[in-house]
Structure formats: structure tokens, C-alpha cells
Chains A and B, each alone.
Chain A
Amino acid sequence: MGSGEEGAVERAIVRRYRILYMSYPVIAVALSIAILALVMYLIGVDPIKGLRTLFYSSFGNAYYVTETLVRATPILMVSLGLMFAFSAGVWNIGAEGQLYIGGVAAAVTAISLGWLPPPIPLIVAWVAGGVAGALWAFPPAALKAKYGINEVFTTLMLNYVAIYFVSYLLHGPLMNPTTLFPETVTLPESSWLPRVVPGYRLHAGTIALFAVFVPLTYLVIKRTPVGFNLRLVGSNPELARSCGINIGRQVMLTLMLSGFFAGLSGANEVTGVVLKMRPDISPGYGYMGIAVALLGRLNPVGIALASIFMAGVVNGSYTISMMLKIPIGIAQFTQGLLIVIITLGELLIRRLTEARKAPVELKPGGGG
């Protein structure tokens, strides 16, 4: 049983599979652009003009590019965290809520520690945001690890609890006492993320994310036993168990780690962009992160690219709805549709490549 002829069929199959596997993100992106065009056509906008405007307003000049990167930052942060969970087959749908909790924790910390010298309030606020996000993921993690309760439901439902809880805080104890808007006071300057270029909102968080977090998470997921454990658990928990891996511990670890990243994402928005906590801090970054993690193939580099794409569409659709006088709801509708298409498409293609039957060596009816 050498190699040669016998492996030829398999090699051809694998080649086809790889092409399909690689080309899918491209197909998904093309498909979502086509859907965008269709939506534009349906509401009476020339799709060519619409798409050109959309592209221009997300990548057209330096300012738009930096804005897109600023928008990509929270999405990417959430998505990198979800990558760990999804790799282990743990479906954390609760990043949105974890982000809100992280955001409010970061804001409270920054405000109360504002008197300390500059980098300290910022650093402590980020840590607080991350930890708060992780703690928000703790109940679903514990329920899943101990009793096998489906994390999809628990994390998803906790989103609403988180968002309304934050809303209560902002309408109550944390309300800005001077303006009486449902938002915190502006953060003390000592906790602001430094801006990189004067006149642009591009901040240190974005740079740190792309320059440090992406390579670091890549290293962890692809080159350490920690990452390998997660992928083993995700691809075959039963095998992982018989290799001596404690599944419950992996579930706890990944769910809370993804909560930590989502919390950081909230801290990033609070300390880098909005500079206060508001009830509309996220237009759904937690959900976009899910689609981006899948579109990016659970690979940090792919996820970085996917987050920029997603951010471009978000910014572009906001801009064109202003410029072409389309209701803002259409922009949000399109974003939602995009998330669904990418997520479903990714899961679908997985099914399609799995359904293949293993090759067999058998001559029927032979022998006694």
C-alpha cells in the first residue's frame, strides 16, 4: 500500500475541497455585496452609484479609512475573543452583553480613578472592562461546564439583561447630573486612549489591536498547546476527553476569555471613541463579531481583514443613508442581513464538505 496511484483520487478530492474552502470567504463577500446592491435597487437607488458611494465613504480617503479602522476595532476585539470560543465549539452569542458590562465597568473605574496619573486610570479601566465581561460570561460558562446547559440560550438571553441593566444604571445612579442625559459624565482625560494623528479619531487602541493583539492571538491559537487543546475539543470532544483533556475546564476558559475580549471591546469604545458610557455604545458589535469570526475562518489574520470589511460596510451604509436620503433603518437592515448571510453561509459550507462519504475498498459478494 504505497502512495502513487492509490492516493491520487484522494489528492484530487482534497484539492477540490481546499479550493472550495479558500474561496468561500470571497464568495460570501461577493454575495453580500450583491445583496447590498439588490436592497439599493429595491428602495429605488441606482446600485452602481450606491455601491460606489458606499466604497468611497468607507475607503475613499485617509479620513474615511481611519474612521473605518476605528469602527473595525471593537468588532475585531470581540471577534478575536469569539475565535477562541468558536474554535472549541462553544457558541458564545453573548458578546454584545459582555461588551456593555465591560463598557460600564471601564467607565465607572475611569471616572473614580481619574485623579491618578495618566496611564494608570486607563490601564485599570481596561482591566476592569475585561474582567467584568469575563464575569458576565461566568454563569453561562459554569452552567455549560457543570450541567451541559446550552450556552447559546444563556449567553444570548443575558444580552438583554446586560443592556437593560446598563440602561437602568445610565438612567439612574450613573446619569450625568448636569445634562440629565442617560449617559455618564465625560471620562477624565487621564483615562483617554491617546489619539495617533491630530484631527483624526484614530487612537492607540486600534494600533495596539492590529499590531499586538492579532499576532499574539495568532500565536496562541496556532502555536501553543492552549490553542491546540481548544481546536481538539472543538473538532472532537470525545477524542479530546480520551486524550486527557478536561472538557469542562476548556469550556469555562474559552467562554470567559471571549467575555474578557468583549469587555475590553467595551472599554475600548468608552476610553477611545465615545469617552463616556452611553446606552447606544454598540450598534451590534457583539453580533457582527460572530459573523466576522466565521468569515475570517477562526484565523486572526482573516478575522482582521473581515472586520475591516464589516466596518467598511457599516460606515458606508450610514454615510449613504445620509447622502442619498435613505432611511437609517435600511442601513441597519443591511448590516443584519449581512451577519445572517455570512454566518449561515459559513455553517452551510461546512456541512457540504462534511457530507462526503469516506472512500472504501470493497468487492461485493466475494468470498463465502
Chain B
Amino acid sequence: MQTRVSGRELLRDVVVMEGIVKVYPGGTVALRGVDFSLRYGEIHCLLGENGAGKTTLMKILAGSLRPDLGRVVVKGEEVRFRSPADAAKLGIGMVHQHFSLIPSFTVAENIVLGYPEEGVRQKLKLDIEVLAEEIRRFSEDVGLPVNPNALTRELPAGMKQRVEILRLLYRRADVLILDEPTSILTPLEVGELFKALRKLKAQGKTIVLVTHKPREALAIADRITVLRRGRVAARIEDPGEIDESGLAELIVGERVATSVSKVGNLARGVRRPALTVKDLYVLDDRGVEAVKGLDLELYEGEILGVAGVVGNGQRELVEAILGLRRPVKGRITLLGVEVTGKPVGEVISLGLAYIPEERLLRGVSTELSVAENLVVKQYGKEPFCRRYLINVKLIKEFARGAVREYNIVAPDINSPVKFLSGGNIQRLIIARELSLNPRVVIAEQPTAGLDVKATNFVHEKLIELRNRGVAVLLISADLDEILKLSDRIAVISGGRIVKVYDCVEAIDLRELSEYMLGIRR
């Protein structure tokens, strides 16, 4: 491939990334050919929804992921990082979303930890006091003062973040990547962080701020790159020219509502509720309320699209419905039966099917065979099991039928699922879930990472279900998908349904994206 970087760009740009493609094992395409550049001494915002590919792109720049295609030029030289240490040598450092500090160490210890060269670390013995003094001076010099002797676990989040930044600066990083740094900060701390970033910029550092909030980008960025589903949606050279809702639209994308092959809206006639969620509160893994007072009603024979930026309580909502996560408060009623806090098996047997977001984690067992994966939800029941014994022949027969009917491309039904592509794994999951004859289906990001053919297949199946009177809860970050399939749309933001559109045709997309991004409530 011939270089596309001109001489002028070489002088201006500290980092140039070209045609970056990244495919995760399992077939999810995170980046589909992204060009990205950073100028010396700028604050650059990388903006996009969760799942747009921001973190992946930055992890490639920081050396913790390797791209499948594309090239990275740093300071005029093409590079192939094999580890974050390689990137650090060229002055690139990243502060990840989750802190990588050792809680029981002091600030100074955390900052010098693992730094092999120069200064106090040259001596075999570590002189803590000299070290602390050096860190104190250093932190004041760069304008981010810290108490070097403070115990890290006792620091507030904003301070911990500062320690992370200092750690990079101490290693002479001049390109700092901050991944969603504001997500764990209070508004006050955000202000502090931005002040610090401006100071660093004045010292000539280049800073990438990864965020999904347009407001923050506008507040601090010199330039903005918007990513959408693995592609660059926009490059904004002058943030003064655009406003918050303009950015929101770029993040979410301009969409045309089209509906395909749906027979009239069954739900509007009878409206028998299939799933009712009332005033639901659910905690996430960290014990923080992720769902806060959510109300939702899903009717038979409709597809209810739940639109929202990933991480607004969708996962916790689904897990609570399935019985995988105990709600703190609220009621869930499935097909007239209260299922709040009931075990998963009971909920499934009422007729609930689940197409999970993380296929490899929750959808299939990669070590088990295609045939075994097709029956994981019913091998213990008639007709597959009689008098405590499993009928292997019948399972194989069933599997052959499913493979044919759903066009699952697999070496054979006995081969482990790890040899299937992402699209075929999704076909397998759908085949399995639909074979249960469900009355309610929860589909979570059902087409994420799939190619066009597989995506269409999934869409057809969901519409087919709806036409048969099944209630479908479609949770997707892909607004195109939501608009294409849904009879009604509920917008989830901050753990609540903030808006329900009963008529998809008349939706104002700008308004919808503002609800999604929490600008409008």
C-alpha cells in the first residue's frame, strides 16, 4: 500500500491512523476502516455511542490491541506496537475506564510502579521519602498537585484519575488518551479535570478525550471525530460551528424510518399485555442503581424497540426479567404470572426466549457441539429425555433439521461451536430459542457485528415472530434497526423509560436522539 500521508501532515500530525480494521474473535467487527489523526498539542474528542469503536481504536493506538488491517504512523514513523510498552516508548499512554492502580499503595508508589528507568529507581533500594519528595515536586511542576503519601484507596475518583495521568506524565508521555474519564466523576470533578487538561495542553501535550457526551466535547475539544458503528461519521475541525443536538444527530446518525413486510399492527386491536414491568429498581455489579423506577409494557404481537445508549440499564433490565439478577424493588409480570425474583428455569418455562447480546458468553458454549448447543434448554425434557436417559439419536435428528432450516453453516453437527462464524452462531441461537415455541422473546443487540445477510435473516425472523402473535422486546443501540422493526419505541436513559413513541412513522429523530443522550428528559 502506498502512503497517503503528505509531508505537511507529517509535520502537523503526531499520530495518523489509516484504514484501521479490527475484528474481534467471534466475528464482531469493531472498526470498519477508520482514519484518524491527532495534531501536536491539541485536545481531540473522540465521540460516539458505546459500541461505536472508540475504545477499540484507542486501544490500538495505545498498543494493547493489534489492528487486523490498516497502519499507524506516530511522529512520522510507521509503527507496529506489540504491547503498551512499545507505545509508551513513543510517548503514548492511556488511562483506561477502570483504574489500574494498586489500592494499598501510596500515590508515589503507584506512580513509579513498574517504571524501570532513571531517578530514584536506579538504586536497588527504594528510598520512600526521596521518592515522595520527587513525586510531589513533579506533580506541582506539571500543575496537577497530589499528596504523594496518601493511600490510593482513600482517594476520591477524581484524584485517582489524576494519579493515573501523573503516572503517564512521569513516563514522559506526550500523547494522553483518556477513555470516558468523566463517567465516574461528579460535575465538580469534571470541571477540575478539564482545567488540568487545558494546563497540559498549554505544556504542549496532545490529549484524546473519549466520550459519548456531546456537551463535554463542545466544552473542551479543539477538534472532534465522531465514530458511528465502526466508521468515522464526521470530522469537526471547528467545534464552534456545531451545537449539542447537531452532534447528537451525528452520533446517532440520520435515519430513514422504513418498515418491511409487517402485516398490520396486531397490537392495536387486542392489546393483551405479555410483559409488564412496574417501578423496577435493579443494581448493577458494582451495587449502583442501574435501573431506577422503570415502567414498561409489552403487548402480544408487537415489536417494542428499546432505544438507548448502551449502559443505561438495558442489561440489568433484561437480567432482572430473566431472573438472573434480583431486583431491589418493583414487579415483573410475564404472561399474567408474577415472576419477580423467580428462578430462571421457571421464567423460561413460561415461554420466554432470549437472544443475548454476548453470544459467546451467554449464547453458546463454544466447547460443546452444534447439536448439544441446540438443545441446551431442553435436553432434560421430553422428548429428548425419557426415563432419565437422553435420546442422542433424536437430538442429532433435531439438530440436522435445525441446521437445514436455519441455514447454519457448520462443518458438521458434532463439531464444537468455536468453529462457527458469528453469523452462524447467531443463527444457531435463534434456531434454539425459536424451537422452544416462545410467547415472549427478548432480543438484545441481535445483529451486533453481523454482516448484511445475517442481519436480514435475524430481522426477518423477528418480524415473523411478531406476525405470529409473539411479543418481542428488541433492545438495540442501532437506531436503524429499532426504526425498521419496531411497532412502538421506548427510549431508555439513566435507567428509566423516558419516552414512549406509540407511532413510529411520526418520530422526530432529533428529539429521539436527545432523549437517548439524556439532553431532554
Which residues of A are in contact with B by a Cβ distance under 8 Å? 1-3, 6-7, 10-11, 13-15, 17, 219, 223-225, 228-229, 231-232, 235-236, 238-239, 241-246, 354, 356-362, 364-368
Contact of B389 (CB < 8 Å), options: A1, A224, A231: A224
Contact partners of A11 in chain B: CB under 8 A = 411-412
Q: Closest Cβ of chain B: how far from A87's Cβ, in Å?
A: 11
CA distance A2 to B377 in the complex (A): 26
Size of B's binding interface in residues, CB under 8 A: 57
With a CB–CB cut-off of 8 A, which chain B residues contact A359? 27, 419, 421
Taking A10-B420, A225-B379 as known contacts, 7 extra A-B pairs with beta carbons closer than 8 A to each other, sorted by chain A number, are: A14-B416, A232-B365, A242-B354, A243-B376, A360-B23, A362-B23, A366-B33
On chain B, the residues within 8 Å of A228 by CB distance are 372, 379-380, 390
Chain A CB within 8 A of B438 CB: no
* 30 residue pairs A–B, Cβ–Cβ below 8 Å: A1-B409, A2-B407, A6-B409, A10-B410, A11-B411, A11-B412, A13-B419, A14-B415, A224-B385, A228-B379, A228-B390, A229-B380, A231-B368, A235-B367, A236-B367, A238-B361, A239-B362, A241-B344, A242-B322, A244-B347, A245-B345, A357-B25, A358-B419, A358-B421, A359-B27, A359-B421, A360-B23, A364-B19, A366-B32, A367-B32
Question: CA A13 – CA B420 in complex, angstroms?
Answer: 11
Task: Assess whether B26 is interfacial by the CB under 8 Å rule.
Answer: yes
Q: B155 — which chain A residues lie within 8 A by C-beta?
A: none
Given A10-B420, A243-B376, A365-B21, answer yes or no on A225-B385 (Cβ-Cβ < 8 Å): yes
Interface assignment of B366: CB less than 8 Å from any CB of chain A: yes
Q: Is the interface of B mostly helix, strand, loop or mixed?
A: mixed
Instruction: Out of A14, A236, A365, A367, name the residue touching B365 (CB < 8 Å).
Output: A236
B348 on the A face (CB < 8 A): yes
**Are B418 and A358 in contact, with the CB atoms below 8 A?**
yes
Nearest opposing residue in chain A for B68, CB measure: A364
Shortest Cβ distance from B386 into chain A, in angstroms?
11
What residues of chain A lie closer than 8 Å to B32, measured between beta carbons? 362, 364-367
A6 cross-chain contacts in B, Cβ below 8 A: 409
User: In the complex, how many angstroms separate the beta carbon of A232 from the nearest chain B beta carbon?
Assistant: 6
Residues on A with C-beta less than 8 A from B51 are none
Residues of B within 8 A of A358 (CB): 25-27, 418-422
Q: A232-B376, A357-B25, A368-B231 are in contact. Are A244 and B389 (CB under 8 A)?
A: no
CB-nearest residue of chain B to A236: B365
Find residues 360-384 in chain B having any chain A CB closer than 8 Å to their own CB. 361-368, 372, 376-377, 379-380
B451 touches A (CB below 8 Å): yes
In angstroms, Cα B453 to Cα A15, docked, is 27
User: Which B residues touch A14, using CB under 8 A?
Assistant: 411-412, 415-416, 419
Which residues of chain A are within 8 angstroms of B343 by Cβ–Cβ distance?
244, 246
Known: A224-B388, A241-B344. A235 touches B365 (CB 8 A): yes
Residues of B388-410 contacting chain A, CB below 8 A: 388-390, 392, 407, 409-410
Q: Does B423 contact A (CB under 8 A)?
A: yes
* Complex-state Cα separation, A252 to B41, whole angstroms: 59
B151 at the interface (CB under 8 A from A): no
| Residue contact B21 to A364, C-beta cutoff 8 Å | yes
Judge whether B128 is part of the interface by a CB distance below 8 angstroms. Answer: no
Is B356 a contact of A1 with CB atoms below 8 Å? no
Contact yes or no, A365 B33, CB < 8 A: yes
Complex Cα–Cα for A362 and B343 (A): 40
With A358-B422, A360-B421 as contacts: A242 and B344 at CB distance below 8 Å: yes
Q: Nearest residue in B to A231 (C-beta to C-beta)?
A: B368
Query: A148 CB to closest chain B CB, in angstroms?
Result: 14
Residue numbers in B under 8 Å from A368 (CB-CB): 231
B377–A7 contact, CB under 8 A? no
Chain B residue numbers with a CB within 8 Å of A236 are 361, 364-368
Distance (whole angstroms) from the CB of B367 to the closest CB of chain A: 4
Of A223, A232, A238, A360, the most chain B CB neighbours within 10 A belong to A360
CA distance A6 to B410 in the complex (A): 9
* Among candidates A219, A224, A362, residue contacting B29 with C-beta atoms closer than 8 Å: A362
Is A362 in contact with B376, judged by CB distance below 8 angstroms?
A: no
Determine the distance from Cα of A320 to Cα of B380 in the docked complex, in whole angstroms.
51
